[in-house]
Structure 1
Amino acid sequence: MNDQIRELQTIIRDKTASRGDFVFSADRLIRLVVEEGLNQLPYTECTVTTPTGYKYEGVKFEKGNCGVSIMRSGEAMEQGLRDCCRSIRIGKILIQSHEETQRAKVYYAKFPPDIHRRKVLLMYPILSTGNTVIEAVKVLIEHGVQPNVIILLSLFSTPHGAKSIIQEFPDITILTTEVHPVAPTHFGQKYFGTD
């Protein structure tokens, strides 16, 4: 982990941080995670002509990528993805956990109709127990998505949460900025100003 990421994490975890500083730091951290997620997607080679007439051998995204945000906190990551990929399709899933049992229940799911043919960037900033993400992956599988094409983008993860997901779905890719026993579970409330 580099110092830039550590500073952003520190501001997000600081209970005295203003909402403006919190959102600014969260958006920067989201952008870094999204860009690393994009590095995991497949590219194909292509040739373009420069304004001076030279041929340039470059790359472009292969078609068939999408994002899925786990509402509500995952929606905080959507703009970071759109800032990098203007036309990417984004689906949504609403899952809520029972406060006492921590069991997750799906209330809403809306995906691109051809999601089974796409690579999926699953966005959920705070990974505590892993139950919500496990339930989301099950719903994606029900829609024909294979776990090996799912890349989970998360800002913070607990060891237990990451381990739970990997045990259930060993082929999923998890990208996070930190694995720490204490996740900043206040993230969604502070980001959206409902704390």
Structure 2
Amino acid sequence: MAGAMFGLQYAKFVKPAFEDFVLPSKKYADVIIPRGGDNHVAIDLIVQHIHTKLGQHNLCKIYPNVGESMENAMRACCKGIKIGKILIHRDGDDGKQLIYEKLPKDISERHVLLLDPVLATGNSANQAIELLIQKGVPESHIIFLNLISAPEGIHCVCKRFPSLKIVTSEIDVALNEEFRVIPGMGEFGDRYFGTDD
């Protein structure tokens, strides 16, 4: 008898209220999860997005001139994408040294977009790619994205990692004696953050 009463209440009150009030608001929703709590993929994406937002510093809100050159664009294009970090300290041309890495735990099961604005000598790129391979990412699952490349950097990376793909918007003439791409745009960090002379 209780089941019949619930079915009657659902048909008489719950369903009409849903159709009158909840269903019309659907067009204003940012995210709709089909199948609700049973849709584990969608819920995982939302949880990851929340974790990412909670982990971000508010420095970009405090200082509007602070940003990351390619990450914000990637996030805008690929909502909910998992982001890792590999920071490599540059100390001359040969003294590359990894100073920080934080990568998703399941990175070995993913295709990876490696972002760096400029491919100059290729030494930093090779070190980052080597780290990804050590973490179990197949070389053929890595796509290296950059804005400007020097031929020297392309030769360096492609000879060492022939299965990797490089996507660049410009291949410039060469490197100068300071290992900067010419004609290029100067030191990318200086240009991006406005610290060039």
TM-score range, shorter chain: 0.5 to 0.7
2:79 corresponds to 1:78: no
- Determine if contact 2:185/2:191 at 8 Å carries over to the other structure: no
Structure 1 unmatched ranges of 5 or more: 1-50, 52-62, 64-73
2:195 corresponds to 1:194: yes
2:155 corresponds to 1:154: no
When residues 89 and 161 of structure 1 are mapped into structure 2, their CA distance, relative to the original with a 3 A threshold, is: same
Higher strand share: 1
Tell me the residue number matched to 1:95: 88
Query: What is the deviation of 1:185?
Result: 4.1
Residue 94 of structure 1 aligns with an amino acid whose one-letter code is L
- Determine if contact 1:116/1:145 at 8 Å carries over to the other structure: yes
Give the alignment partner of residue 177 of structure 1, picking from 149, 163, 169: 169
The alignment partner of 1:106 has SS state of strand
Greater Rg by CA: 2
The alignment partner of 1:93 has SS state of strand
Higher helix share: 2
Write out per-residue CA displacement over residues 126-182 of structure 1, whole angstroms, 9 at most, x where no aligned residue. Answer: 111000000000111111111100000010000000010000100010000111122
The alignment partner of 2:137 has SS state of coil
Query: What is the deviation of 1:98?
Result: 1.5
Separation in 2, partners of 1:113, 1:146:
15
Residue 193 of structure 1 aligns with an amino acid whose one-letter code is G
Q: How does 1:52-67 map to 2 (within 5 A)?
A: none
When residues 106 and 177 of structure 1 are mapped into structure 2, their CA distance, relative to the original with a 3 A threshold, is: same
Give the alignment partner of residue 100 of structure 2, picking from 108, 112, 124: 108
Q: Which has the higher relative contact order, 1 or 2, with Cα contacts under 8 A spaced 6 or more apart? A: 1
Residue 127 of structure 1 aligns with an amino acid whose one-letter code is L
When residues 110 and 185 of structure 1 are mapped into structure 2, their CA distance, relative to the original with a 3 A threshold, is: farther
Q: How does 1:7-156 map to 2 (within 5 A)?
A: 75-99=68-92, 101-156=93-148
When normalised by structure 2's length, the TM-score is: 0.59
Tell me the residue number matched to 2:51: none
Q: Quick check: 74-83 or 156-165, which moved more?
A: 74-83
When normalised by structure 1's length, the TM-score is: 0.59
Residue 170 of structure 1 aligns with an amino acid whose one-letter code is P
When residues 117 and 97 of structure 1 are mapped into structure 2, their CA distance, relative to the original with a 3 A threshold, is: same
Task: Give the number of aligned pairs.
Answer: 124
Tell me the residue number matched to 2:156: 164
Structure 2 unmatched ranges of 5 or more: 1-26, 28-41, 43-66, 175-181
The alignment partner of 1:112 has SS state of coil
